[in-house]
Structure 1
Amino acid sequence: MVNINKMDFLISRQVKEFIVWIQKILDAPGSFYHHYTMKKPAVGWSCDSIYSAFENYNWKFRTTDPESGNKVTGSSFTESTKLFSKLYRLLNISIESEDCEKCTECCLSILEWGGVISKNDKKVKGLGNDICKYFKKVRIQLNDYNFCIENSEDFIIMNSGFAKIYSLLLDDFIIYDGRVGAALGLLVRKYCEDTELDKVPCELEFAWGRGKETTYITSQCNKRNPSSEKYKFPELLSNPKRHLENNLRANWLLKEIIDTTQSKFNSLDKRIQLRALEAALFMIGYDVNEPAPYSANLSEW
């Protein structure tokens, strides 16, 4: 686990050099090829730049609107963004007004959207009448510019489900899950290979999370493991502090990429630029195992 604050992270030479490297593959056609076959639905997916991964975003969701009680469905980035805009407003209003019931409903809706309601619903409901106070406390701590994981308190609940809630509670807080971690690991590994580094810089050592498999597969062979023989990346392994620390570094890195580079991401509404980059990583990270040789004929996928 990397114990570093935001300022030290952003002035790191390795972080600065990685950002220079990644700018070349943000939106240039043919700069970053990646493809795989999804399980559900069983279709091929591909991209030829990080931005095209965002353009090919797909997440089929079904959740409950905490305001109307109606079911909301969708699969596109635009549909998720529209829902998030509403949930952001409702969640933060409920916290400020200390409406614990509405706050709970908003959290459950977010978890349902992300397909991670199992077990997390009990954690949310377990906060009871302290739920609004809890999120206010989390907001204060994680908004501290000098926040360091070593000094964090153990009260913060952290996993891929709560990362989704925090992304609507805090500004510039991405949803760090196993897929986003896998994609960051893949990109960092390619950076290390291109620049012939001896090892993965600690600042860029992002943890990945296992993908669901029908049969047991070792960590070494898991489709979300971006490691190579030379460059190794850790696994999240339901470690709350590791997850939070990785999420914070990813927040800082992606925001710095958006703020200091020029690409098609900057042409998007400023409010969704960071979310769009996160969405691109989410799609890339579905499977980061080395695929078969890429075919230029995208119709084959």
Structure 2
Amino acid sequence: MNRQTYLALPHVSQFTDWLAAELDSKSHFTHEYVDRRTGAQWSCNSLFDAFAHYRWNHPGNSRLAFNPGNCSMSNGFALTALRKDLDNLNGNDSRALDAALDVMSWGGVIAGNATWLKANKIGLASLLKSVQAAMDAGDELAPALRSKHLRFNSGMTKVYSLCWRRRQIDLLAEMSLTQSDSSQTIACSRLVPIGGGSVLHRHLGQFGVGVNSKPCWINFP
């Protein structure tokens, strides 16, 4: 089943419609927990509030000119820079290696992945291009995606997601800069799916809502 077929299923579209209407709910998505590492208490009273409280500590990158940070806005800038870098490989394996390593650094998954990337530098740009083409076409049977040699772990999935031309990462930076309430989130909710790796996925999973209903929203670790 490909993405288009799945999204056309009645129960999937019904869930999307329900979520669009409930994003501002102050009752369905109230949640809190204590961070065991820091002892800090985290809470939200809506899905947009969960997004507003998003935190991921990421390093800066002098080559791509973004600063370290931890909020949705700084991560949005970082992801946009990383995506643009991957969009301009032009078949160059050295550039592909640098771009992929920078994604690993942002995501905190450099260990192991760096060794693999350096060992597989030759042909890396071509690999990423073939994976990108298959994802853009929605072709789940593409040889590039079904190859037993395709590395598919928490590091490379970040790279593949950033290569995907249909993803909506730029939306994050735009929303962070322009929106002070959840009206834009609700307006965009029909256009921006949710899934593994996103802030909505993380909190919907704790609420017990159907988090696996759709692919990716904003690809955070």
Q: 2:99 aligns with which of 73, 96, 106?
A: 106
SS in 2 for 1:61: coil
Q: Deviations over 1:50-71 (max 9, x none)?
A: 1111011111112544346xx8
Q: Which residue of 1 aligns with 2:174?
A: none
**Could you say if the C-alpha distance between residues 149 and 128 of structure 1 is closer, same or farther in structure 2, counting changes exceeding 3 Å?**
closer
Matched with 1:118 is 111
Q: Distance in 2 between matches of 1:85 and 1:7?
A: 26
Within the candidate set 54, 75, 97, 2:70 is matched to 75
Q: Which has the higher contact order (CA 8 A, sep 6+)?
A: 1
Alignment of 1:52-91 (within 5 A): 52-67=49-64, 72-91=67-86
Q: Partner of 2:211 in structure 1? A: none
- Whether the 8 Å contact between 1:57 and 1:280 is mirrored in structure 2 is yes
The structure number with the bigger radius of gyration is: 1
Cα pair 2:64 2:82 within 8 Å, conserved: no
Q: Could you tell me how far apart the structure 1 residues matched to 2:62 and 2:96 are?
A: 12
Kept in 2, the 8 Å contact 1:166–1:173? The answer is: no
Look up the equivalent residue of 2:185 and give its one-letter code.
F
TM-score under structure 1 length normalisation = 0.55
Superimposed CA distance per residue, residues 222-252 of structure 1 (whole angstroms, 9 cap, x where no aligned partner): xxxxxxxxxxxxxxxxxxxxxxxxxxxxxxx
Residues 131 and 140 (structure 1 numbering): CA distance in 2 closer, same or farther, change over 3 Å? same
Distance 2:137 2:186 in 1: 26
Letter in 1 for 2:100: C
Contact 1:51–1:280 (CA<8 Å) still a contact in 2? no
Q: Displacement of 1:264 after TM fit?
A: 3.2
Q: Which blocks of at least 5 consecutive residues in structure 2 are unaligned?
A: 170-181, 209-221
Q: 1:108 is matched by which residue type in structure 2?
A: L
Code of the aligned partner of 1:153: S
Sequence identity, in percent?
21
Task: Name the structure 1 match of 2:155.
Answer: 161
Distance 1:282 1:11 in 2: 21
Shift in Å at residue 72 of structure 1? Answer: 3.8
Q: Distance in 1 between matches of 2:15 and 2:79?
A: 30
Structure 2 residue aligned with 1:137, among 114, 118, 130?
130
Structure 1 residues 149 and 138 mapped into 2: Cα distance closer, same or farther (>3 Å)? closer
Contact 2:23–2:186 (CA under 8 A) maintained in structure 1? no
Q: Partner amino acid for 2:58?
A: F
Question: Compared with structure 1, are the counterparts of its residues 156 and 66 closer, same or farther at alpha carbon in structure 2 (3 Å cutoff)?
Answer: farther
Instruction: Return the alpha-carbon distance in structure 2 between the equivalents of residues 7 and 27 of structure 1.
Output: 27
Q: Detail structure 1 runs of 4+ shifted over 6 Å in the superposition.
A: none
Other-structure match for 1:264: 184
Q: Name the CA distance, whole Å, in 1 between partners of 2:60 and 2:110.
A: 10
- Closer/same/farther in 2, CA of residues 5 and 92 from structure 1, 3 Å limit: same
Deviation per CA, 1:4-63: give whole Å up to 9, x if none.
112220121221222233234312333311211113332111111111110111111125
TM-score by length of 2: 0.72
Q: Which residue does 1:188 correspond to in 2? A: none
Number of equivalenced pairs:
192
**CA gap 1:149/1:103 in 2 versus in 1, 3 angstroms:** closer
Structure 1: gaps spanning 5 or more residues: 176-261, 291-301
Q: Decide whether aligned partners of structure 1 residues 146 and 61 sit closer, same or farther in structure 2, where only a CA change above 3 A counts.
A: closer
C-alpha displacement of 1:132: 0.6
Give, in angstroms, the shift of residue 266 of structure 1: 5.1
Specify whether residues 152 and 144 from structure 1 end up closer, same or farther in structure 2 by C-alpha distance, changes over 3 A only. farther
